[in-house]
Amino acid sequence: MEKKRILSILVKNESGVLPRIGGLFARRGYNIDSIAAAKTENPKITRMTIVATGDKSTLEQIEKQLLKLYDVLELKVLDNENSVSREHVMLIAGNSEETRANLIQVANLFHANILNVTEESLMLELTGKPTKIDSFIKLVEPFGIIKLARSGLTALEKR
Amino acid sequence: MKLNGAEIVLECLLEQGVDTVFGYPGGSVLNLYDALYKYSDKIRHVLTAHEQGAAHAADGYARSSGKVGVVIATSGPGATNLVTGIATAYMDSIPVVAITGNVPVNLLGLDSFQEIDITGVTMPVTKHNFIVKNIEDLADTIREAFLIANTGRKGPVLIDIPKDITVKETEYVKKVIEPVSNYYADITSDQIKEVVDLIENSQRPLIYAGGGVIASEAYESLKEFVEKIDAPVSSSLMGQGSFDNTDDRYIGMLGMHGTVTSAYAVTECDLFIGLGTRFSDRVICDIKSFAPNAKIVHIDIDPAEVNKNIKVDLQLLGDVKCILDILNKEIKPKNNKEWLDKVYSWKKEYPLKMVEEDDEMVTPQYVLETLNELAGEKAIITTEVGQHQMWTAQYYKFKYPRTFISSGGLGTMGFGLGASLGAQVANPDKRVINVAGDGSFHMNCNELVTAYKQQIPIIELLFNNNVLGMVRQWQRLFYGKRFSQTTLDRDTDYVKLAEAYNVRGYRITKKSEVRDVLTKALSENTPALIECVIDRDINVLPMIPAGGSINKPIVNIDI
């Protein structure tokens, strides 16, 4: 059975690390749902949050193969119990003046921020759990989504 | 002491105890070769005909000696020519350090002349690779590369050095390098107890030795283990030589071209102990029929190999030798006479036999058995890839590790000749014979010139059947005898070709000539090529078709 798994990995902040990880997933046929990366408090180290999908043995292989990469320093499997995860979305939606008020209502309901306003459309942003982002997008969809950018999941282990 | 980058590279090689490198010069490595000129009394450079040959030679050097093989090539085509050699080493976990030149740092990324992103190209076929853009990082990068190549599961590492880095100067401080020790076991006392219990309760254990036994120098420990638990031993292609093939308990290879005895033993065993192996698809064949009655114990240094190709019942992670040494202390000697008698009866009933011998026909079996008798157990046998490779693995009795050198994982035709050069350079006191087919020979036969020029007295034993025999065998079995592009009939005069390279050439067409020619070639300390003309319809048997049941080997093919 296919499952999702959140992997939080620390890697060396060097050029070539991302292709090593991307290449590993590509050549071994692993499914990658999202990948989010940026340097940590230590500029020599980058934290990557990878969401991967696969059956049990594939997920086990993904972990082991990642750990074999010389640039991977640490790998943790995260879940709802041991971590907090968030995603960020930015989107431009709306198609007419008449519906704008309703769109603002949806935005307020989710506590989404309005970043930019034009005559026809609004640019909105929201941070939250992926499920929240999903339902936000679902409710905005009828107003017409013109552009959308999701950050991919990022997560942090609780202390 | 202030040195330039090229000198630092060589000093760092000396730190690692490197006294031989293989390679080919070019624009981006001019400074490196200038330094090699200066260091020629300390480091021997073996110039090959082609960078691929150099990469295979470094690999053969490593396989036959246990040391790290080093290969140097220039940027662009020089670097890409290494790729097949690096990939071959990667698939078989061989420690090789490849050093490539590149264009100066300020020309990187501009599609400059002979620029190639070789770290990008070799990412999937190296354990790790580096590009050095800062002279201050050079020495430590080289040290790290050797450490990575040698640590845990071994493998190739590439270091790409832009030309200006080899010119720049910096302070060099010599470092004393501690030898890498992989002698560790990541196992608990519960696991030891569990495996000891499994062994003690087993009636029909089978030991299966892979290349990891050779990599971890576990020959003696395996011998003791086998005697203690009184089990038959099978091996993979890579594991040939990890256990004395002339020992009664040895039952031959397992898998696609393994023996019938091994196939039956794996089917009937109740405990299967895989040592230093990755359970290749060429061995497991059909996963459902593999060791159906057995608990499987997997001992390996690479955690990612456990439960990858086959689900195992018990895993012991660590160095094979270290774990065997622990187990040897814990296990009480066993007696499995009943099981061994059964195995021996299979061995008697199903010997490896190629074709009915007659007086005239030269068969690979006869040639290899005669070579075995004349060259002996200390000789190093390298191979190309194809039928001749399997015949060599089947009929030559390897007694010691590092005496059989072959491209197992990647199956690289053209590997053997280069590898034999490296093996001979590493072992000047031994005879090195490369067994080849005519297909493989034509891929990299240019390296005969290296054997002559560098006075490397290898013997090229060429089985000429004028076809791509292994592919032809598959076409016969599975493609309705449509021999598409596998009938070579190139009419090459191999004796003349050898002589053109200043290598002595012999031609064998009759069985009666085999012994004399082999004796003569072995008695001379110069390179030689021996062409053995053989029938094109001899098959490699037994054979289990890809994905077929391991307990149903094909033992006869109608021609």
Residues A71 and A125 in one domain: no
State how far the Cα of B462 lies from the Cα of B518, in Å rounded to an integer.
12
Reported as a single tens digit per residue, the pLDDT across B364-382 is: 999 999 999 999 899 999 9
Poorest-pLDDT segment among B101-105, B149-153, B360-364: B360-364
Query: Is the distance from CB of B208 to CB of B234 less than 8 angstroms?
Result: yes
Reported as a single tens digit per residue, the pLDDT across B398-436 is: 999 999 999 999 999 999 999 999 999 999 999 999 999
Residue with tokens 């003046």: A97
Residues A103 and A72 in one domain: no
Residues of A in contact with B148 (CB under 8 A): 70
Residues A151 and A94 in one domain: yes
Whether the predicted pLDDT of B214 surpasses 90: yes
Specify the amino acid at residue B98: A
How large is the average pLDDT for residues B242-259?
Answer: 97
Residues of A with CB under 8 A from a CB of B: 16, 19-20, 23, 27, 57, 60-61, 64-65, 67-71
Residues of A in contact with B126 (CB under 8 A): none
| Whole-number percent of chain B with pLDDT over 90 | 95
Residues of B in contact with A64 (CB under 8 A): 303-304
Please give the interface size between A and B, counted as residue pairs whose CB atoms are below 8 Å apart.
27
Residues A63 and A116 in one domain: no
**B205: part of which helix (H) or strand (E)?**
strand B205-209
Residues A94 and A36 in one domain: no
Domain boundary among A45, A78, A111: A78
Residue span of the structural domain in which A145 resides: 84-157
**What distances in angstroms separate CA B470 from CA B111, B396, B530, one per listed residue?**
41, 19, 21
**Residues of B forming the active site:** 51, 113-114, 163, 470
Per-chain mean pLDDT for chain B: 96
State how far the Cα of A138 lies from the Cα of B213, in Å rounded to an integer.
58
| Whole-number percent of chain B with pLDDT over 70 | 100
Residues A29 and A44 in one domain: yes
pLDDT at B547: 86
**What's the CATH architecture for B364-533?**
3-Layer(aba) Sandwich (3.40)
pLDDT at B510: 95
Position B120 confidence tier, pLDDT thresholds 50, 70, 90? very high
**What distances in angstroms separate CA A146 from CA A89, B51, B480, one per listed residue?**
13, 54, 58
User: Looking at the 3D structure of chain A, how many domains does it have?
Assistant: 2
* Predicted ipTM of the assembly: 0.90
Residues with Cβ within 8 Å of B452's Cβ and at least 6 positions away in sequence, in order, are: B501, B502, B503, B527
Q: What's the token pair of residue A131?
A: 């499920």
State how far the Cα of B298 lies from the Cα of B305, in Å rounded to an integer.
9
Specify the amino acid at residue B121: V
Which ranges in B297-409 belong to alpha helices (H)? 320-330, 337-349, 364-375, 387-395
A96: Cα within 13 Å, side-chain hemisphere: 3
State how far the Cα of B127 lies from the Cα of B149, in Å rounded to an integer.
7
CATH class of B2-171: alpha beta
Residues A72 and A103 in one domain: no
User: Do the chains contact at B123 and A20, CB–CB below 8 Å?
Assistant: yes
pLDDT at B360: 86
State how far the Cα of B73 lies from the Cα of B55, in Å rounded to an integer.
9
pLDDT at B149: 98
| Strand B96-102 versus strand B157-162 pairing type | parallel
Residues of B in contact with A66 (CB under 8 A): none
Reported as a single tens digit per residue, the pLDDT across B72-104 is: 999 999 999 999 999 999 999 999 999 999 999
User: Do the chains contact at A19 and B120, CB–CB below 8 Å?
Assistant: yes
Residues A135 and A95 in one domain: yes
**B12: part of which helix (H) or strand (E)?**
helix B5-15
pLDDT at A100: 86
Domain over B189-349 is classified CATH 3.40.50.1220: yes
Residue with tokens 């950018």: A149
What residues does CATH 3.40.50.1220 cover in chain B? 189-349
Reported as a single tens digit per residue, the pLDDT across B446-459 is: 999 999 999 999 99
Quote the crossing angle between the two packed helices B320-330 and B219-229, to the nearest 10°.
30
Domain boundary among A78, A93, A116: A78
Residues A122 and A148 in one domain: yes
CATH code, A26: 3.30.70.260
Query: Helix or strand or coil: residue B505?
Result: strand
pLDDT at B559: 77
When scoring A20, A73, A75 by the number of chain B Cβ atoms within 10 A, the one with the most, hence best to mutate, is: A20
> B335 exposed, middle or buried (CB, 10 Å; 0-12, 13-18, 19+)?
exposed
pLDDT at B79: 98
Whether the predicted pLDDT of B229 surpasses 90: yes
Quote the crossing angle between the two packed helices B260-268 and B337-349, to the nearest 10°.
150
Residues A109 and A74 in one domain: no
pLDDT at B248: 97
Q: What is the pLDDT along chain A (159 residues), one digit of tens a residue?
A: 899 999 999 999 998 899 999 999 999 999 999 999 999 999 999 999 999 999 999 999 999 999 999 999 999 999 989 999 999 999 999 878 788 889 999 999 999 999 999 888 899 999 999 999 999 999 999 999 999 999 999 999 998
pLDDT at B201: 96
pLDDT at B218: 98
- State the nearest Cα–Cα gap between B213 and chain A, in angstroms: 21
What residues does CATH 3.40.50.970 cover in chain B? 2-171, 364-533
Domain boundary among A50, A78, A106: A78
